[in-house]
């Protein structure tokens, strides 16, 4: 019987038995002039998504195709504007989901790296050009200034060249942009706080605004001018002295005076609002709570908030707490927490490292216990200072129902914004030495007494 001859291939040659089939044609070409950069960006995001969905080496994951796509983008002069336009849309989506500039930049730094953070700042600066300055809330403007959101480039956004003091290759910038876009598209939705850009004059900032898709109220943030700037100057000076002094007793007295001064200011606001009947409503502010030891730091913020008639809700995975309260009280919380955290961290570092009898490091458990004890004792001292300020107020009988009504308003705001809030469990403390040292440091921390400062003329 005759043997069957193998079927020749298209070139007339005969492949050997068991040889693999000829390779498939490469994916469609990514010549720079062949496809617009908008399409290439969409394709690059799809390819990166395929890499996440399929293990490397599978038929669905084609790294050479993604590389050719990025190379085509890097060589196309139209990519810069297209890239920034895509990032701007991602930033706009972030605003729609309740994020604010400082929140977004911190989150990018937490999840990615410094080049992504700088690119996010550029995207925010570019996106904010779409809004007239009069329609941007004061709090947003202060955040934009704090993160340095400025349009530093001339003309189209450059893909290469120096940026923020560093030089970035075009291909590397495109990869950073793709990673940033993936993060922006996956941002969780937050309950909005205050008006978004473009809407600041469209609604009364002192009244609630309905958050899109959330079903709860978004709390307005009254202008900073409602808080006495002269009083804030005194508090800042007291806290700066408390942070810089080498004498623990002096730091303790300064911090105690600051707390009492802020408490008295809050009481004055509460009484004035009650008399006029046109007081502000509870507002919200997000305050960063960073690693390491984010749990004890969040506990410190909670006790500072409670002592100043506010409530703090910790979002551990996002790296911040949402603090709700009346405007003057929120200002007190932010200033005192920042200063007390500096004082506590400094005292913790000065306490040094710890090892057990076998030479193993006990520094982490010591510092965890230190900061937890520090937070607990600071909470006790802040409450004592706030109670003294209330006791020294004339017409105390009339004050109690006013403060009770404000407490209830804050609790109602928390319930409206976080209807499914659950009480978290803190990590147990196992280092007795750290706990004792933390309480001792809290006893020496400066809180600031209002009564002594209020009687002074001019800044302290």
Q: What angle do CA 265, 266, 267 make, to 5 degrees?
A: 90
Q: 3-class DSSP state for residue 202?
A: coil
Ordered DSSP codes for 212-279: TTT-SEEBP---GGGS-HHHHHHHHHHHHHHHH-S-HHHHHHHHHHHHHHHHHHHHHHHHHHHHHS--
Burial level of 12, CB count in 10 A (0-12/13-18/19+)?
exposed
Please enumerate in sequence order all residues whose Cβ is within 8 A of that of 387, keeping only pairs 6 or more positions apart, or say none. Answer: none
Token pair, residue 406, equals 């404000």
Taking the alpha carbons at both ends of the chain, their separation in whole angstroms is 112
Dist. CA 417–CA 226, nearest whole Å: 24
The reported pLDDT for the residue numbered 218 is 42
Specify whether the CB–CB gap between 311 and 418 falls below 8 A: no
Question: What Å distances lie between residue 459 and 236, 240, 456, CA to CA?
Answer: 10, 13, 8
Q: In the sheet that 311-315 helps form, which strands lie side by side, from edge to edge?
A: 283-288, 320-325, 311-315
Residue 253's nearest CA partner among 29, 452, 47 is 452
CA distances from 336 to 63, 232, 270, 284 (A): 51, 11, 20, 16
* Token pair for 41: 């960006």
Task: Please work out, in degrees rounded to the nearest 5, the angle formed at the alpha carbon of residue 316 by the alpha carbons of 280 and 186.
Answer: 95
The tokens describing 389, both together, are: 């300020």
Chain Cα centroid distance, residue 233 = 25
How far, in Å, CA of 395 to CA of 415, rounded? 31
- Which pLDDT score, from 0 to 100, does residue 459 have? 34
Question: Whats the size of the chain, residue-wise?
Answer: 460
Where in the chain are the domains?
37-75, 79-185, 226-454
List, in order, residues 6 or more apart from 400 with CB less than 8 Å away.
none
Query: pTM to 2 decimals?
Result: 0.74
* Tens-digit pLDDT profile for residues 236-292: 788 888 888 777 677 767 877 787 777 777 777 777 777 666 667 899 999 999 989
> What is the predicted pLDDT for the residue at 354?
78
Residue 169: per-residue pLDDT: 87
Q: What pLDDT is recorded for position 361?
A: 75
Contact 174, 73 (CB under 8 A): yes
Quote the CA–CA distance of 165 and 226 in Å, as a whole number: 39
Provide the token pair at 325.
Answer: 């309260």
CA–CA separation, 142 and 114 (whole Å): 22
Q: How far is CA 263 from CA 30, 213, 381, in A?
A: 65, 37, 13
Strand, helix or coil for residue 164: coil
Which residues, given as ranges, of the chain have pLDDT below 70?
Answer: 1-33, 52-61, 161-167, 201-228, 248, 252, 275-279, 356-358, 394-397, 423-460
In the three-class reduction of DSSP (H, G, I as helix; E, B as strand; rest coil), residue 20 is classed as coil
């Amino acid at each position: 019987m005759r043997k069957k001859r193998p079927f020749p291939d298209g070139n007339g040659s005969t492949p050997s038995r068991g040889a693999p089939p000829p390779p498939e044609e490469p994916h469609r070409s990514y010549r720079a002039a062949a496809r617009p950069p908008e399409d290439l960006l969409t394709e690059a995001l799809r390819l990166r998504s395929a890499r996440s969905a399929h293990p490397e080496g599978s038929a669905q994951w084609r790294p050479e195709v993604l590389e050719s796509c990025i190379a085509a983008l890097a060589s196309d002069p139209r990519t810069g504007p297209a890239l920034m336009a895509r990032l701007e849309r991602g930033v706009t989506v972030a605003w729609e989901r309740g994020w604010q500039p400082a929140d977004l930049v911190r989150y990018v730094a937490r999840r990615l790296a410094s080049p992504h953070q700088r690119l996010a700042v550029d995207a925010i600066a570019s996106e904010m050009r779409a809004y007239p300055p009069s329609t941007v809330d004061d709090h947003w403007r202060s955040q934009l200034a704090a993160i340095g959101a400025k349009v530093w480039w001339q003309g189209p956004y450059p893909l290469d060249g120096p940026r923020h003091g560093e030089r970035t290759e075009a291909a590397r910038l495109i990869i950073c942009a793709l990673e940033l876009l993936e993060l922006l598209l996956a941002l969780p939705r937050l309950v909005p706080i205050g008006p978004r850009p473009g809407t600041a004059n469209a609604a009364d900032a002192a009244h609630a605004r309905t958050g899109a898709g959330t079903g709860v109220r978004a709390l307005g943030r009254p202008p900073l001018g409602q808080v006495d700037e002269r009083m804030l100057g005194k508090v800042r000076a007291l806290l700066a002295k408390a942070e810089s002094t080498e004498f623990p007793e002096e730091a303790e007295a300064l911090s105690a005076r600051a707390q009492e001064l802020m408490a008295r200011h809050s009481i004055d606001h509460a009484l004035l609002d009650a008399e006029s009947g046109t007081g502000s409503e509870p507002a919200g502010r997000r305050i960063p709570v960073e690693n390491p030891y984010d749990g004890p730091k969040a506990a410190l913020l909670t006790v500072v908030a409670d002592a100043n008639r506010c409530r703090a809700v910790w979002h551990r995975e996002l790296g911040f707490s949402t603090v709700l309260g009346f405007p003057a009280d929120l200002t007190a919380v932010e200033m005192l927490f920042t200063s007390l955290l500096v004082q506590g961290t400094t005292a913790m570092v000065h306490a040094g490292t710890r090892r057990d009898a076998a030479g193993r490091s006990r520094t982490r458990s010591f510092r965890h216990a230190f900061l937890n004890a520090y937070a607990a004792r600071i909470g006790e001292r802040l409450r004592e200072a706030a109670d003294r300020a209330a006791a020294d107020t004339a017409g105390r009988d009339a004050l109690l129902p006013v403060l009770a009504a404000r407490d209830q308003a804050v609790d109602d705001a928390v319930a409206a914004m976080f209807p499914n809030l659950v009480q978290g469990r803190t990590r147990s403390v196992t280092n007795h030495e750290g706990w004792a040292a933390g309480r001792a440091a809290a006893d020496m921390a400066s809180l600031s007494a209002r009564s002594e400062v209020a009687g002074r003329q001019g800044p302290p």
